[in-house]
């Protein structure tokens, strides 16, 4: 999470356009969660999902290492902007195809996914970028839920949260990696602007001083994947996980605004904590 606006006096509660930015982030969580849960529910009802219940420690460790190492390895292999933009477009296409394929026959789903990917590539506004990125993120999160059990995703959320703290505050390589990827045209983040039409439709690169902030894709993707996997326990745990993640984002935003000096901070730990607590409480309510 990083600021896109000049430094301002520290505050505790958001006011004015900051409230709008907070609402924008909450809408991202709600939209991605709704799309992913809808796709997961429909796929399961059609018998198209084989949900894994196993939790293998070596498998989880391998998944964790894969998640944290892929961006760094990619930067070591190539720094060609076209490569990273292509990979980013491929992820959006795959996720969009997954969502579209849940509701449409293969050929129309392919066309819809291609249209969403082209939208992201050529209409470079906050509205288009966030919409296409939200659809792609939802599709991949729903797909991940077919492979990982809720317990596995709880482990990954916890491990990645500690990694996020170390990578931002201890080594700083997460911040450097994000900036490098951004310079190569692969902005793996939602652009949270005020919910004004002018801010949503102005090209992102044309106003670097615009008020707003960046929310990493992984900060939304991981708790939504947990919610999708939680559907096997019922609708309540799934919705609770998304709601808890959204509450965690709100807490993160308040902490971010309260910093004496604005600086990037790890957003996943509070978001993950909110999702995990809400998920656990929902299970207690559902099975007292």
pLDDT digits (tens, 9 = 90+) for 121-141: 888 888 988 999 999 999 999
Average pLDDT over residues 77-88: 75
Q: Taking 50 as the threshold, does the pLDDT of residue 82 lie above it?
A: yes
Residue 185 backbone class (left: φ over 0; alpha: ψ -120 to 50; beta: rest): left
What pLDDT sits at residue 200? Answer: 84
User: Which sequence spans correspond to the domains of the chain?
Assistant: 2-38+51-286
The residues, any chain, with a CB within 8 Å of residue 283's CB and separated by 6 or more, are 233, 237
Residue 145 φ/ψ, nearest 5 degrees: -65, -20
pLDDT of 280 reads 95
Q: Are 273 and 50 in contact (CB under 8 A)?
A: no
Q: Per DSSP, what are the bridge partners of residue 125? A: 203
3-state secondary structure at position 191: strand
The token duo for 143 is: 């797909």
Over residues 25-36, the pLDDT tens digits come to 999 999 999 999
Residue-averaged pLDDT of the chain: 81
Exposure string for 22-55, b = 16+ CB within 10 A, e = fewer: bebbbbbbebbbebbbbbbbebbeeeebebbeee
Question: Between the ranges 14-18, 144-148, 259-263, where is the mean pLDDT highest?
Answer: 144-148
pLDDT digits (tens, 9 = 90+) for 205-237: 545 456 778 898 889 999 999 999 999 889 999
Predicted confidence (pLDDT) at residue 174 exceeds the cutoff of 90: no
Say what the pLDDT of residue 221 is: 92
In this structure, what DSSP letter does residue 168 have?
I
Residues 6+ apart with CB under 8 A from 286: 233, 234, 236, 237
- Least confident segment among 68-82, 90-104, 191-205, 236-250: 68-82
Q: What is the pLDDT of residue 10?
A: 41
Query: Which of 107-111, 140-144, 271-275 is least confident?
Result: 140-144
Q: Is the pLDDT of residue 175 over 60?
A: yes
Residue 215: strand pairing partners: 190
- The full DSSP string for 193-207 is --S-HHHHHSBGGG-
5-47 residue pLDDT tens: 554 444 456 677 888 899 999 999 999 999 999 998 887 655 5
| CA–CA gap between residue 218 and residue 141 (Å, rounded) | 10
Residues constituting the chain? 288
């Amino acid at each position: 999470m990083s600021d896109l606006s000049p430094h301002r006096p520290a505050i505790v509660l958001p006011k004015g356009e900051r409230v709008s930015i907070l609402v924008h982030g909450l809408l991202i969580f709600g939209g991605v969660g709704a799309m992913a849960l809808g796709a997961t529910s429909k796929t399961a009802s059609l018998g198209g999902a084989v949900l894994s219940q196993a939790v293998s420690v070596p498998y989880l460790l391998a998944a964790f290492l894969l998640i944290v190492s892929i961006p760094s390895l990619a930067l070591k292999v190539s720094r060609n902007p076209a490569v990273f933009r292509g990979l980013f477009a491929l992820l959006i296409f795959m996720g969009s195809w997954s969502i579209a394929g849940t509701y449409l026959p293969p050929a129309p789903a392919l066309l819809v996914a291609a249209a969403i990917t082209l939208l992201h590539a050529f209409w470079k506004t906050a509205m288009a970028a966030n919409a296409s990125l939200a659809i792609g993120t939802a599709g991949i999160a729903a797909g991940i839920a077919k492979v990982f059990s809720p317990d596995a995703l709880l482990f990954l959320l916890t491990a990645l949260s500690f990694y996020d703290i170390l990578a931002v505050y201890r080594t700083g390589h997460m911040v450097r990696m994000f900036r490098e990827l951004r310079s190569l045209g692969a902005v793996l983040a939602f652009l949270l602007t005020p919910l004004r039409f002018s801010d949503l439709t102005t090209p992102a690169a044309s106003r670097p001083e615009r008020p707003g902030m960046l929310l990493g894709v992984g900060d939304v993707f991981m708790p939504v994947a947990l919610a999708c996997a939680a559907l096997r326990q019922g609708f309540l745990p799934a919705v609770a996980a998304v709601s808890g993640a959204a509450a965690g984002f709100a807490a993160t935003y308040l902490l971010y605004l309260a910093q004496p000096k604005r600086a990037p901070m790890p957003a996943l730990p509070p978001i993950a904590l909110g999702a995990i607590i809400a998920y656990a409480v929902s299970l207690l309510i559902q099975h007292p």
